[in-house]
Structure 1
Amino acid sequence: MLVRVFPVSRSVTHLFESDFYRMLIDRRTEEEVARMVRRGFGRAADWRRAHDFYLPTETLYLTPEPHQNGYVPEDDQSFGLSLSRRIFIGCGER
């Protein structure tokens, strides 16, 4: 599962299943998941930008920009999880 946490100003969070399809969940659950990810990584990320949290490896990545490969997860089936975008592993370990 992948959680895409957008800046608070966008007020949206997307959750993707392992088959790259977006999960449809209620807004309250989205907010709680985003809060948990932000709290887990604290100041490790610039939350004014979107980030992807990949649950199986507990790794935080900077989300690709809309024009970049991986922004739409099913396009390249990478979720944008390239090493060059990795910020933190295991909720706080670099």
Structure 2
Amino acid sequence: MHNELSQALHSLAPDAALIRVFPKRQGMIHFYGADFFMLLAPQDVEERAARLIRQHFGDAVDWRLPHDFHVPTGCLYVTPHPDRVGYVPEDDRSFGLLAERYVATAHGGDR
């Protein structure tokens, strides 16, 4: 992990490889481990992680859509549509991290 955002998120959720941030109105966030399975986290950790990601990328991102932050690379992607392969990471073992869904990289990321 080469960027400060990934390091901060790793300190909150050490086993998280992907953090899915849903729109605020839905009020949820999901953490996934490198094994593609969902991880449980306390609500305060979820809220802090979502706030860190939203603040880092700011208004450059359409937060009305869910986004996936890949912790190891520092890359942010638009989450696949629910009826598409990749929506649930276990579906295609890629976390849905495709070039056409790429939005931005946190400063110092690997992309």
Common fold: TM-score over 0.5: yes
Q: Tell me, yes or no, if structure 1 residue 63 matches structure 2 residue 63.
A: no
The one-letter code of the counterpart of 2:98 is S
1:69-88 deviation digits (Å, cap 9, x = unpaired): 10010110111100000000
- How high is the TM-score relative to the length of structure 2? 0.80
1:1-23 deviation digits (Å, cap 9, x = unpaired): 10000000000000100000111
SS of the residue 1:53 aligns to:
strand
Structure 1 5/91 Cα, relative in aligned 2: closer, same or farther at 3 Å?
Answer: farther
Q: Tell me, yes or no, if structure 1 residue 90 matches structure 2 residue 110.
A: no
Is contact 1:40-1:91 (8 Å) kept?
no
Q: Tell me, yes or no, if structure 1 residue 49 matches structure 2 residue 65.
A: yes
Q: Tell me, yes or no, if structure 1 residue 73 matches structure 2 residue 89.
A: yes
Q: Tell me, yes or no, if structure 1 residue 40 matches structure 2 residue 56.
A: yes
Structure 2 gaps of 5+ residues are 1-16
CA-based RMSD of the aligned residues comes to 1.7
Structure 1 48/2 Cα, relative in aligned 2: closer, same or farther at 3 Å?
Answer: same
Runs of 4+ in 1 over 2 A off after TM superposition: 90-94
Structure 1 gaps of 5+ residues are none
SS of the residue 2:77 aligns to:
strand
Is contact 1:59-1:90 (8 Å) kept?
yes
Q: What percentage of residue pairs aligned between the two structures are identical?
A: 47
SS of the residue 1:3 aligns to:
strand
SS of the residue 1:56 aligns to:
coil
Is contact 1:51-1:60 (8 Å) kept?
yes
The one-letter code of the counterpart of 2:27 is S
Is contact 1:41-1:91 (8 Å) kept?
no
Alignment: residue pair count: 94
